[in-house]
Structure 1
């Protein structure tokens, strides 16, 4: 029989062991300073004076602050208590209560960090309860997470998915003179690494980002002895931004993270802003730290397969029944929502269309599409099946809107009425019909409406700036540094020209609309041109140009019709976005949809041109990514040209 869980409380430390692993935490701070497992004295790295061991932290700023960065708060507990102590399970609490004397030094939150160890379990769980009351000042929460800094000498092989795995360089390789910082601090070219195999590569933690829906297990493997350290997140309900929000996973140092709130790939729109005295409570986690080992070094890489098996087991066990906090709803306190989503687009089909593969979710009540910027509540998402049927299970008690979007169609669905979940309820919504924006038949279109720029042209990386992992992964070729610079190589003198009917967006539409560098720190706005023909201009209606963006970073999209010098332009988005998806090697950030009326008087029979200008040119990284563009005719009998 497996050994009982044992707890030893010392003046400045708390030690937990179950015969498989041993955890040592600071008392009352609640930071992990030692994990013993499989003969390794400590899986954690303590040499870094700032980021050491395992810890919860957050980044916050004063109310009214601009940007997405402020002060880091390492969340040191001030009170320790034992919540559960049996031979089978121990749950520990490290709490820091808010006190007005802390104003300016710590985020105005009361935080209770929990750690759980079971008998016979090769790993441990952690979660935290964040709470505000009416006495707390306003502030901005930019980020919060649990992080683990692993033993530098032991953990060198990283795994994020079946094909995103590799040996990693050392943290010293990123420091001058071994490393050369590029356009931003996260991206470093390894010019003289300790191990020559990494020479010439770019290391950037954002190259290893992952969408929330896929971010369930990642970590590192130690080869001698063969040991795995894995971060498993069995649910996305406590993460912000929806299922396709991207975030960090594991990266050099070696570091492995569970991100709960962040502005990555969203920018200032994802800063959580609390008003004076605004109450709030949220449980982040539990997440599971899984440790595994192999008896033979030749079996080390199979630890990834075992970690995936464990991840599936954790997902099937959600929601956990063991957290002692009453703020974490158990399975019998939750409810289910199901229904069938259909699409009505009369210019695509006379019949209702099943919403095959639709993303369907429950999020706090808000405007259409507000879920992608919602950060305070919980969200519950699923994918509809091939017939449009969906079931969202284990939903916490609260009031929600139902949100959805359907690959292949622009726009967002939101339920007209709210949905209230109570313990044990089963809400059957029946048939729901989404009518995507549409005024007339398609005259022409560019791209695929899937909230991603992945279908467009991605150039080969500059040989000076490569990550070898992605050279043979076509689906991830966008995860290379500096691809935005290749635009000027491909279009040194003039800008992109796309001709409807002859051009192919997979080859002729650059993945990002960026500026052109024309001198040292001098950049020029670029104007793309869409050429198309109209055989017969309808004289009795308005054409509609729909432009869906999947990313924007301090940008302004201007649209002109048949007059490149029109001032003012026929349409401007104004200054939008700060998601930095271009710089962070993504194919999407936040979704934007603009519906632009084009009077028939602006078009002419025969040859026409739409001019698209990204007008902000302060840096190389100000730009947008298009998801999809469509021109609609005003009359049903217009002959469409696709």
Structure 2
């Protein structure tokens, strides 16, 4: 028997979509998801919340003239419209136009929210079209965040899954309230002192412990054990997310809350907040994303709902771009194109032949300089990973103008193809062999770390026993524990980190974050720290021949920090190099092992280094808070090229 067709019921204040598997109720004309009925549960969303606080699109925005800052706005439609209605599919629109009379009251965007229910489908889709019109009546503004949020029933949804190794029974929202929870260094982090479930006592709950890179953020959600029901947010494509594959976003967290984040400044700062000038035309489609619900028979294990959600995620990814959205602004597969090729690396100090760029991240993003993609936040990006031989194919690229970008794990820096690429409907562009030459002046004298844009390979300490999240004990993501920044002062109570090339092991002896030191145990005052790299030079050819050395420092993160480099004289008034104040990614506080990526290529002139013992001093002097600091990705010292030395 075929599944029931889709039905649409329009009421005075609500619209109901029903396909016999689930019912989705939306407020009319606001377009807030007020109810999801499934598997005998009248509403999977939190019935104790006001209808406007259950399932909604929202924005955070600022007026660029400073008159409005950090405005949080739930997007409420003013016009309801049926876009498509048949037994196979219902698509409805809740739109909210903007005009100059709304200046300062609402974000200056036309917003059209869409919801789709298909026959036989255990879930529904949502997407939205945002538009800033090219007219001088439309003011300048910035868009700090936009997302979809679902607040689930706290009496049912207690088990959360973000990844195979990141899933667990979660605290209740009540556990974060005074008497049960004690706020820590910032409001998001709470120590559970008297939780409803006693086994959670002494743990830290912090929503940032469950953040995730875009590249890994395809499905997450919650399980109710009684009745056994899963609620999952599936994002089949990253094309409408900002910042590329390494941008981190929030997922699910105590609430129980499930998020689909499209734009945010998290783990990046203001660089990833798009700013629109007065009258600047812009239009973008966010989504569709899929809200999937599933269930098992009474005697089956409810935790298998996670496995089913992952299978459904693969189905959605393979179905992208969807064929059913009715908006002309969502490009179908025949309006898109493909780019393929082979990426090779040329580094003569590693290998005389070209090296296949195995596992390289290759993508198309709007035109810009090399590495621009990680700060790009207005338009679309399309990424893939090359195979072990460096072959790549990027499919389903929206028509438009792009550059081709790449970076290769194991090599520093960013590749950008010099020639722009224009995608037209149905095009198949074959790039052939393209070659990335990473920064390199001479042979490696020594190196610390692995060039992979992350500090994960360095020493991550055990957390203070008072602040443990049991999920991350003996876990690859042990850096997600709360309070690790405080462990540096405990491990280095009287002097800062000293790393001796040839003796030290970066996995044990290089602390994962270059953080400040607490001056005294019970004060909130901090001081900058200076790390040392000690090494021996066997000869001084560079000095005698007038050559120079090159120090390459790749940073995985910077939070209101500064990197100063001195060589062999820690008291030198002026450092050999200073980055100046950089970074607002806040990765130290938010348990990220990386934020934005920075590379500095520092010349060390002849005569500064000597034959025998040398020391490089790395200072981070900014010390107003414990969260200011750096994470290193990779450091390398290069000698001058031999042929130039003996020319």
Cα RMSD after superposing both structures: 1.4
- Tell me, yes or no, if the aligned pair for 2:32 and 2:51 is still in contact at 8 Å: no
Indicate whether 1:301 and 2:303 are aligned: yes
Once the two structures are TM-superposed, the CA of residue 568 in structure 1 deviates from its matched residue by 1.2
Q: Secondary structure at the match of 1:307?
A: helix
Q: Secondary structure at the match of 1:387?
A: coil
Q: Deviations over 1:357-403 (max 9, x none)?
A: 00000000011101000000100000000100000000000000000
1:509 counterpart residue number: 510
2:74 counterpart residue number: 74
1:490 counterpart residue number: 491
Q: How does 1:111-510 map to 2 (within 5 A)?
A: 111-135=111-135, 136-473=138-475, 475-510=476-511
- Tell me, yes or no, if the aligned pair for 1:239 and 1:260 is still in contact at 8 Å: yes
Once the two structures are TM-superposed, the CA of residue 49 in structure 1 deviates from its matched residue by 4.9
Distance 2:565 2:153 in 1: 53
Q: Deviations over 1:62-103 (max 9, x none)?
A: 115599x70101010000000000111100000000111111
**Structure 1 segments unaligned to the other structure (5+ residues):** none
Is the deviation greater in 505-514 or in 168-177?
168-177
Q: Secondary structure at the match of 1:507?
A: helix
- Tell me, yes or no, if the aligned pair for 2:34 and 2:52 is still in contact at 8 Å: no
1:527 counterpart residue number: 530
Q: How does 1:544-563 map to 2 (within 5 A)?
A: 544-563=550-569
- Tell me, yes or no, if the aligned pair for 2:32 and 2:52 is still in contact at 8 Å: no
Distance 1:273 1:50 in 2: 32
Distance 1:471 1:229 in 2: 27
Is the deviation greater in 628-637 or in 381-390?
628-637
Q: Deviations over 1:89-127 (max 9, x none)?
A: 100000000111111111100000000001111100000
Once the two structures are TM-superposed, the CA of residue 635 in structure 1 deviates from its matched residue by 2.8
- Tell me, yes or no, if the aligned pair for 1:441 and 1:638 is still in contact at 8 Å: no
Structure 2 vs 1, CA of residues 349 and 119 (structure 1 numbering), >3 Å: closer, same or farther? same
Q: How does 1:560-639 map to 2 (within 5 A)?
A: 560-636=566-642
- Tell me, yes or no, if the aligned pair for 2:142 and 2:273 is still in contact at 8 Å: yes
Q: Secondary structure at the match of 1:241?
A: coil
- Tell me, yes or no, if the aligned pair for 1:46 and 1:52 is still in contact at 8 Å: no
Structure 2 vs 1, CA of residues 311 and 238 (structure 1 numbering), >3 Å: closer, same or farther? same
Q: Secondary structure at the match of 1:206?
A: helix
- Tell me, yes or no, if the aligned pair for 2:234 and 2:289 is still in contact at 8 Å: yes
- Tell me, yes or no, if the aligned pair for 1:51 and 1:149 is still in contact at 8 Å: no
Q: Secondary structure at the match of 2:17?
A: strand
Indicate whether 1:31 and 2:32 are aligned: yes
**Structure 2 segments unaligned to the other structure (5+ residues):** none
Distance 1:51 1:109 in 2: 20
Q: What TM-score, normalized to structure 1?
A: 0.98
Once the two structures are TM-superposed, the CA of residue 308 in structure 1 deviates from its matched residue by 0.7
Distance 1:140 1:417 in 2: 31
Once the two structures are TM-superposed, the CA of residue 638 in structure 1 deviates from its matched residue by 11
- Tell me, yes or no, if the aligned pair for 1:33 and 1:54 is still in contact at 8 Å: yes
Q: Deviations over 1:514-573 (max 9, x none)?
A: 001113110010000000111112122111000000000000110001110111111100
Once the two structures are TM-superposed, the CA of residue 50 in structure 1 deviates from its matched residue by 9.3
- Tell me, yes or no, if the aligned pair for 1:223 and 1:297 is still in contact at 8 Å: no
Q: Deviations over 1:475-526 (max 9, x none)?
A: 1111100011100010000000000010000000000000011131100100
Equivalences, count: 637
